[in-house]
């Protein structure tokens, strides 16, 4: 395929062509807008930070990659598949020693013992370096008294199911931020917020508003839940109503253009449109993609940015005219699906890698080969169901029939290797999974990039292996 030469994509030309407007910069919070300083983090620097999947945990992190004003962070002692991206000025990032100074527990790397960990010794042994304190913008945040205290009770929205308001507790107060924990729920539902967050309310809010309040998990006689009784039972007090400072509705409007991180592939920032709004959220639509990939985010989401943010910070922007991206996605289907019409893969035009040599841009976009939703720390939205032509793919990968992700998660590394060995054209790669001790749970967490980059498996077999993982996930959903 020969790509048509056209002038470089630009925001001004695109806005004019679409007869659209850029979302005004004034609508964005400071942490979303254009940064006032450069990203001075460097690969190999070590720090402390929050685990996005378990917001109550502070962990030992290493900067693994720099992309403009963003950093990819690696959990020391854990597989790369748990890495996550954050902005350089993220409040979630802290310098080494922060947890010890402020009395927070630091989750140590595997092999390190509590009471024996010392940052200076650890960095020396790792031959790394500590990230300098001046790089952490959150340390300069002014703190104002809020009236909130750890242990106070309140009513809070479950962000994973916004229609649900639950009994919750302030698990911690740090600077101007509160850690919300739902009573008797695990910490994967926790989130940090400030006093202006629209999802936290004083005790009695649901009763006054005529809404249903969800009692704590496993609470005896939930139908007769009473705040007065519960506060007495738990020996706790309600957060004072005066401490809540609800923010006014936002000013984002339908059809405004923005730049937004793709939650399903967080290394990418795409050209996007506000496709819908409510009081405190906006729906993100990626231009040039099907509406099935749209999702809702809070208006203060740190990965939502004004037009021009990528150019200003030196971050690549995925624009809707990227024919290369369509080529890559097409290549996924060409390897895995029988020829002919009716391809279920979005954006497929029947042209893949085998009809044209890959360019350096293909390689830089290799993680777009999949629409991964299995990386940790992603969206609080329900998992995206990858479109699969089940009957056709099962003809190519009959080994998957009858299996589910739940069953595979219990497999040993030997069982995973045996499964991979049975996939067409993958026999020679089976030993890799055994050598790397990839058990069933780890196998299900693998992304396309993991299989190609880390396990060094070629594109064809890698696509078959990754598609088998998607099919297993899909089988669970069925």
The pair of three-digit structure tokens given for residue 441, joined into one six-digit string: 């749970």
Give the number of other CB atoms < 10 A from CB of residue 202. Answer: 17
> Of 217, 239, 261, which marks where a domain is finished?
239
Q: Are 336 and 464 in contact (CB under 8 A)?
A: yes
The average pLDDT across 1-18 equals 79
The chain-wide mean pLDDT, for the chain, equals 83
Q: Which residues pair with 182 in a beta bridge?
A: 168
Q: Is residue 329 part of a domain?
A: no
In a shared domain, residues 357 and 453: yes
Give, to the nearest 10 degrees, the angle between helix 459-477 and helix 323-336. 80
Same domain, 440 and 355: yes
Q: pLDDT at position 478, please?
A: 54
* Cα distance between residue 168 and residue 154, in whole Å: 5
Written as one string, the DSSP assignment of 358-425 is PPHHHHHTGGGGS----STT--SSPPP-----HHHHHHH-GGGTT--HHHHTT--HHHHHHHHHHSTT
Do 159 and 202 fall within a single domain?
A: yes
Q: Which pLDDT does position 55 carry in this prediction?
A: 92
Output the CA angle 66-282-148, nearest 5 degrees.
80
- Answer whether residue 404 is part of any domain: yes
Q: Is 290 exposed, middle or buried (0-12, 13-18, 19+ CB in 10 A)?
A: exposed
What's 452's DSSP letter? I
Pull the structure tokens for residue 68: 């403009």
| DSSP code, position 116 | T
Give the domain CATH number at 84: 2.30.30.140
Q: What is the largest CA-CA distance in the chain?
A: 73
Q: What is the mean pLDDT of residues 26-47?
A: 96
Of the ranges 20-29, 93-102, 304-313, 378-387, which one carries the lowest mean pLDDT score?
Answer: 378-387
User: Greater confidence, 365 or 5?
Assistant: 5
- Asked if residue 187 and residue 77 are part of one domain, the reply reads no
Is the pLDDT score of 237 beyond 60? yes
Question: What would the pLDDT profile of 403-415 be if each residue is shown by its tens digit?
Answer: 888 889 999 999 9
The answer to whether residue 96 sits within a structural domain is yes
174 phi, psi to nearest 5 deg: -130, 125
End of a domain among 239, 267, 289? 239
Of 284, 279, 278, the closest CA to residue 296 belongs to: 284
Structure token digits, residue 130: 């500590």
Query: What pLDDT is recorded for position 252?
Result: 97
Supply the range of the domain harboring residue 303: 11-33+250-313
Sign of CA dihedral 461, 337, 373, 86: positive
Do 285 and 166 lie in one domain? The reply is no
- Around Cβ 135, how many Cβ atoms within 10 Å? 18
> Are 383 and 273 part of one and the same domain?
no
Which pair of structure tokens corresponds to residue 64?
Answer: 């693994």
- The number of C-alpha atoms within 13 Å of 256 and in the hemisphere containing its C-beta is 21
The string of pLDDT tens digits covering residues 423-433 is 888 989 999 99
* CB distance 327 to 356 below 8 Å: yes
DSSP 8-class letter at 176? T
146-182 confidence digits (pLDDT tens):
799 999 999 999 998 989 999 999 999 998 899 999 9
* In a shared domain, residues 436 and 348: yes
- What's the number of domains the chain is made of? 4
Tell me the residue length of the chain. 478
């Amino acid at each position: 395929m020969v790509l048509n030469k056209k002038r470089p994509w630009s925001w001004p030309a695109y806005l004019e062509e679409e007869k659209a407007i850029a979302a005004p910069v004034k609508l964005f919070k400071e942490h979303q807008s254009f940064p006032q300083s450069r990203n001075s983090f460097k690969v190999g620097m070590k720090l402390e930070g929050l685990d996005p999947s378990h917001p109550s945990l502070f962990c030992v992190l290493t900067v693994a990659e720099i992309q403009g004003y963003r950093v990819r962070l690696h959990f020391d002692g854990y597989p790369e598949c748990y890495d996550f991206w954050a902005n350089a000025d993220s409040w979630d990032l802290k310098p080494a020693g922060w947890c010890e100074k402020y009395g927070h527990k630091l989750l140590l790397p595997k092999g390190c013992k509590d009471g024996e960990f010392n940052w200076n010794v650890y960095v020396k042994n790792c031959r790394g370096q500590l990230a300098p304190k001046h790089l952490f913008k959150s340390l300069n945040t002014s703190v104002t008294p809020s009236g909130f205290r750890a242990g106070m009770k309140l009513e809070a929205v479950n962000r994973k199911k916004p229609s649900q308001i639950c009994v919750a507790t302030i698990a911690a107060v740090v600077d101007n931020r509160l850690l919300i924990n739902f009573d008797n729920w695990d910490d994967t539902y926790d989130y940090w917020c400030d006093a202006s967050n629209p999802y936290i309310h004083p005790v009695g809010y649901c009763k006054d508003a005529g809404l249903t309040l969800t009692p704590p998990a496993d609470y005896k006689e939930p139908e007769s839940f009473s705040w007065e009784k519960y506060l007495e039972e738990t020996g706790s007090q309600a957060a004072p109503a005066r401490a809540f400072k609800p923010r006014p509705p936002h000013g984002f409007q339908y059809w405004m253009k923005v730049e937004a991180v793709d939650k399903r592939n967080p290394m990418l920032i795409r050209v996007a449109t506000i496709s819908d709004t409510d009081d405190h959220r906006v729906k993100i639509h990626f231009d040039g993609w099907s509406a099935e990939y749209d999702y809702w985010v809070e208006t203060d989401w740190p990965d939502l940015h004004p037009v021009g943010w990528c150019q200003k910070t030196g971050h690549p922007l995925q624009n809707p005219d990227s024919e290369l991206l369509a080529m890559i996605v097409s290549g996924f289907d060409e390897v895995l699906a029988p020829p002919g019409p009716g391809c279920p893969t979005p954006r497929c035009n029947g042209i893949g890698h085998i009809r044209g040599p890959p360019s350096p841009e293909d390689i830089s976009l290799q993680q777009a080969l999949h629409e991964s939703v299995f990386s940790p720390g992603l969206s609080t939205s329900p998992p995206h169901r990858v479109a699969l032509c089940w009957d056709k793919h099962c003809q190519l990968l009959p080994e998957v029939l009858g299996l589910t992700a739940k069953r595979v998660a219990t497999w040993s590394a030997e069982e995973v290797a045996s499964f991979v060995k049975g996939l067409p054209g993958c026999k020679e790669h089976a030993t890799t999974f055994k050598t790397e001790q990839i058990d069933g749970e780890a196998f299900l967490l693998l992304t396309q990039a993991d299989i190609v980059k880390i396990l060094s498996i070629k594109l064809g077999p890698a696509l078959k292996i990754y598609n088998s993982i998607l099919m297993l996930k899909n089988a669970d959903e069925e």
